[in-house]
Chains A and B, each alone.
Chain A
Amino acid sequence: MNTMNTTVTKEAAMPDETPVPVQEERPAETIIQEGATVGTPFADDPKFKLRNVEVFYGQDRAIKNISLDIARNEVIAFIGPSGCGKSTFLRCLNRMNDSIDICRVKGDLHLDDENIYDPKRDVVELRARVGMVFQKPNPFPKSIYDNVAYGPRIHGLANRKSDLDDIVENSLRKAGLWEEAKDRLDATATGMSGGQQQRLCIARAIAVSPEVILMDEPCSALDPIATAKVEELIAEMSESYTIVIVTHSMQQAARVSHRTAYFHLGHLVEVNETNKVFTAPEHELTESYITGRFG
């Protein structure tokens, strides 16, 4: 009987022998066109309308002319290699960059047609509408109840104790933490597991009824099961909130988001439906990044 070696004889079937063209060196900077985002960065009637956004750290331009719309009740994921500006850009959306002295933000950033960076605008009001969840679970070293009740208290959302109790319960329920926490609302929050702490942080953000929730790598400090619970939560919340999530895990972006935005060296390279980005991205840098060719 013939062996395989003798049957495979066709030259064309062995492309390894064809000479590989010399690959020209093309640094990533030259491939990107500033301000030219591939895909579908714009939406009708967006929640956030961001045009020509630039962020400077002193002399450094960290965000380079980005224009993007974020639609209502969508989950949009920001991905990209470290230092690509995705976190910086996220923090522009509720002006968390304000506390950094050397940081300047240029461009038009609108939330529901209101200028976010209007000098007259009250940051406190903005942050009540645009909540944030951070990379490391950061509950206050207080009781579970006080953690959730803190936001409503400082904003004066509840006049009576019973109202506040309702808000706390609702927020914990939405965060999927009520069953675990209802019997120990007075226990200190720092005694909970990492995943529970992160869900508590989400409950704390929900408690002030924001319209948008920004998440800065919310699962990077969590184990896979806790991560799955948070992702499940994101999926549930997307019905009533607009969610912007920065993540280093491409699988996570693929799992939770409707649209995915790829950042590179401060540029917004591509924005597309998540399905498209992960099967057939348009830009070669996106392709290289998500296939693991650089990072």
Chain B
Amino acid sequence: MSDQSKQAEIVRQSLKRRYRKERRFRAYGIIAIAIALSALVVLFADIIGKGHSAFIKTTITMDVDIDGEMMYLDDASDERQMKMADFVEPLIQALMREIPGAGESDRDAVRDLLNPYASNQLRDALKEYPDLLGTTQTMELLSHTNVDVYVKHAGDDNYSIKLNQQQREWVDQLVEKGVVDTSFNDVFFSRGDSRDPSRAGILGAIVGSLLTMAVTLVLSFPIGVAAAIYLEEFAPQNKLTDFIEVNINNLAAVPSIIFGLLGLAVFINLFGMPRSVPVVGGLVLTLMTLPTIIISSRAAIKSVPPSIREAAEGIGASKMQVVLHHVLPLALPGMLTGSIIGMAQALGETAPLLLIGMVAFIVDVPGGFLDSATVLPVQVFLWAGSPELAFIERASAAIMVLLAFLISMNALAIWMRKRLERRW
């Protein structure tokens, strides 16, 4: 046999082994992806399984006699009278009417089916329309949290249902009659935090997050891009520049809680800024995001082909013109992508914000950058730590909202890159 055919034989024999190896290698990859995917599925299943019920609220719909006598009220536009008036009584009476078996002795048990804040609904309605006094209105009132839990999780052993046997029978009757019903939980998206789970919402946290992110974006993007351009295009090649570069890279790896400590020490203790406000939160997150933005922006600038720079210089463009006319437009998609990813990181950050007091219980939706606020991940942290299962449910729901924000930010990053990217 000639050398060549001998070699061909050897190659043929090793081919099988090579293909086997290749298949095995591919299998490893598929297994890795399968593990990652199943972890993701488990996570999502758990969160959605726990949290989906938070998007549903339980209501009691009934005809309410808005009887002035019962409420010690004869003029709904009189503020003094409104303060003194009893708004609970008409509701109890109306509900008693819906429950045939309930006697005067069951008053308290019946009242406990109503949400303590249901009377506020009546008061608010009267405040707005004083003419309603003396009429009968069909009202949709929020049920008590216990009723909510009973309706949603009646068979679930994890939940302790704080209704007695009598109350449970009433609720069952009311559900059958259609008086107690479930609908989309608009309260969750329209209110701030609350001690009462059925009235707790995440609007406060969302607004807090948006305000904080706005501060972070406004500060970190220009500073980061400017720093990146200077370092990449103008900085002299010397020890100092190298030192700065190394430190920026190190900063990106510093645990975020350290930035929280820094924020606490500098912004709050040294500059005397207020605690738990979006401005300080934004400042701290800016510090945390800057290295990410600088590094990704520099990478984007570096990826601009030197031939473009040379072309512009060769025509006689000044350094400034080269950067502004050519480098920046070409690097912008990469810079934006890096910034959005940095922002997404900041959006999900909890630790540094805990230290600057954004962990407080805040009921009101913040109205500005200097109002006390909390942010989504901190809200999740707060609710997840609550002993009440109804809050755990809401924590999961808040996680879903947070994830939705993160996914849409990443999608925005991808879309922007696709949109703005230019080929050369």
Contacts and interface: CB of A to CB of B under 8 A. Distances in A.
Nearest to A126: B316
Contacts of B307: 134, 136, 138
Interface string A110-146: 0000000000000111111001111010111100000
Interface stretch (A71-79, A149-157, A247-255): A149-157
A98 B236 CA distance: 13
A127 B422 CA distance: 27
Contacts of B330: 141
Nearest to B329: A141
B248 to A, nearest CB: 21
B14 interface: no
B424 A190 contact: yes
Interface in A163-212: 190, 201, 204-205, 208
A138 B314 CA distance: 11
Nearest to B305: A138
Interface string A40-73: 0000000000000000000000000000000000
B316 A138 contact: no
B315 interface: yes
Main secondary structure on chain A at its contact with chain B? helix
A155 B424 contact: no
A131 B424 contact: no
Interface residues of B, number: 21
A96 B422 contact: no
Contact of A134 (B311, B321, B325): B311
A16 interface: no
B316 A190 contact: no
A60 B313 CA distance: 25
A99 interface: yes
B241 to A, nearest CB: 11
Contacts of A204: 311, 315
Given A138-B305, A140-B326, A127 B316 contact: yes
Contacts of A201: 311
B312 to A, nearest CB: 7
B318 interface: yes
B314 A131 contact: yes
Contact of A138 (B236, B237, B310, B317): B310
Nearest to B236: A101
A201 B310 CA distance: 12
A286 interface: no
A260 interface: no
B313 A127 contact: yes
Contact of B314 (A125, A132, A190): A132
A190 B308 CA distance: 12
Contacts of B236: 101
Contacts of B315: 127-128, 131, 150-151, 154, 204-205, 208
B292 to A, nearest CB: 27
A268 B237 CA distance: 32
A94 interface: yes
Contact of A151 (B308, B310, B316, B326): B316
Contacts, number: 67
Given A140-B326, A154-B321, A208 B316 contact: yes
Contacts of B310: 96, 132, 134, 138
Contacts of A124: 316-318
A126 B316 CA distance: 8
Interface in B296-330: 305, 307-308, 310-318, 321, 325-326, 330
Interface string B280-302: 00000000000000000000000
Contacts of B308: 138, 140-141
B311 A96 contact: no
Nearest to A127: B316
A139 B312 CA distance: 9
B316 A154 contact: yes
A190 B423 contact: yes
Contacts of B422: 141, 190
Interface string B221-242: 0000000000000001100000
Given A101-B237, A190-B424, A139 B311 contact: yes
A141 B424 contact: yes
A125 B316 contact: yes
Most chain B CB inside 10 Å of its own CB: which residue of A128, A154, A190: A154
Nearest to B424: A141
B76 to A, nearest CB: 68
Nearest to B326: A140
Nearest to B315: A151
A214 B321 CA distance: 22
Contact of A205 (B305, B314, B317): B314
Interface of A: 94, 96, 99, 101, 123-128, 131-134, 136, 138-141, 150-151, 154-155, 190, 201, 204-205, 208
| Interface pairs A-B: 10 shortest CB-CB | A132-B314, A138-B307, A127-B316, A151-B315, A128-B316, A138-B311, A141-B422, A141-B424, A124-B316, A101-B237
23 contacts: A124-B316, A124-B317, A125-B316, A127-B313, A127-B314, A128-B316, A131-B314, A131-B315, A133-B314, A134-B307, A134-B311, A138-B305, A138-B308, A140-B312, A141-B308, A141-B424, A150-B315, A154-B317, A154-B321, A155-B316, A204-B311, A205-B314, A205-B315
Given A138-B305, A140-B312, A150-B325, 19 more contacts: A101-B236, A124-B316, A124-B318, A127-B313, A127-B315, A133-B314, A134-B307, A136-B307, A138-B307, A138-B308, A139-B311, A140-B326, A150-B315, A154-B325, A155-B316, A190-B422, A190-B423, A204-B311, A205-B314
